[in-house]
A and B are shown apart, each in its own frame.
Chain A
Amino acid sequence: MHELSVCQALIGQVERIARENGARRVVSVVVAVGPLSGVEPALLEHAYPIAAAGTVAEHASLTVEVMPVEVHCRKCGARGEARPNRIVCAACGEWQVDVISGEEMLLKRVEIETDALAAS
């Protein structure tokens, strides 16, 4: 249940980006989260409005892109999906694999609304 802490960190970054780009408000926020990051997408979505309340991102939508757990096998070279508690090669069952996706906890994109008058 650390998703509020994560959301507060997220809003901190979004506020900085909004400030640096002269945003009037933030329209949308896109994050990428993998199951191995320890963050639960549904809890992130619940915590987000609480963290965003009273900030420039108060009325922004949040999109959580859930990344798959993907591994690359060191033995047979296959690339495939795995489960968080069964991180093995789908092709040959080998456990010595490199995780190539699934650890993400990233801010990917921010859509902002700028002052139309100032921009023209």
Chain B
Amino acid sequence: MCRDCGCTLGPAVARAPLASVKPPAGRVETIEVITAILDENDRVAAHNREHFDGHGVLALNLMSSPGAGKTSLLEATIRALAGRLRVAVVEGDLATENDADRIRACGVPAVQVQTGNACHLDATMVHDALHELPLAGLDVLFIENVGNLVCPASFDLGQHRNVTLLSVPEGDDKPAKYPVMFRAADLTLLTKTDLLPYLTEFSPARARAALQQVGYGGETIELTSRGGEGFAAWLAWLDREVAAQRARTAQGRTARPNVQPEGALAHASARPAR
């Protein structure tokens, strides 16, 4: 029952049939515009990014299918970083406070955004959540997006980096099925690798090849949230990103995720926006 596709909307809300397109009666003017459709979201996202940069906070957007292990990864990460980096989490789910409760149990602040029937977080939802967080005392803000490999990729939240999880039970061809999501990643984590001995049909090499085919040029780390070498590599990546964000903040610069929404604008024939 998705709010977004309108599938529950009954006849009370008129879907204008093609016949209702009225021929013009008065003077018709054509206005050439070339702007991103999500211009307003992008504006709020830029505002969020200024908030993060103003406080020297690194913001990471975690995306994956439901059940790929985002919250488990965060629980293990928060415990590993305790006393070293100050962390907070914005949790996005359609319903329940479950994930925020799990994060709070690890001793860090968490805000739960309940999106109702919306399939993704947008910049305004994150902005509203920020008002409930002590940004000034933070090093890293994790934004755990709604579990969904489609919609979250289209909405900039103001994050500096996208981290996408692909868990072993999902299959190694996920990047080929959901190219837009995996292209948007700055870091890909192959999670639940402790299941590899049981799910022998999953090949990390094939997953890496599928990532390459969708134009993904970032790092890929194989890990389990239960610890080990891969998990240490993830913590090392976080340390590098925190250091990079501090260096950028000191120089008054910022960073954007791999796929930049303006990229498309640059490719369109340039016309002044009205």
Contacts and interface: CB of A to CB of B under 8 A. Distances in A.
Interface of A: 1-6, 9-10, 12-13, 17, 20-21, 23-25, 27, 31-32, 34-39, 43, 46-47, 49-50, 52-53, 58-61, 84-88, 95-97, 99-101, 103-116, 119
Contacts of B181: 38
A111 B131 CA distance: 40
Interface string B159-201: 0000000000000000111011101000000000000000000
Interface string B35-58: 111111100000000000000000
Contacts of B261: 105
Interface of B: 2-6, 9, 13-18, 20-22, 24-41, 118-120, 122, 150-151, 153-155, 175-177, 179-181, 183, 210, 212-215, 217, 259, 261, 263-265, 267-268, 274
B5 A53 contact: no
A111 B179 contact: no
5 contacts: A5-B118, A13-B39, A37-B264, A49-B16, A106-B265
Q: Could you say which of B41, B118, B151, B212 has the most chain A C-beta atoms within 10 Å of its C-beta?
A: B151
Nearest to B268: A106
Given A59-B16, A96-B217, A114-B26, A2 B151 contact: yes
Given A46-B5, A87-B179, A105-B264, A31 B29 contact: no
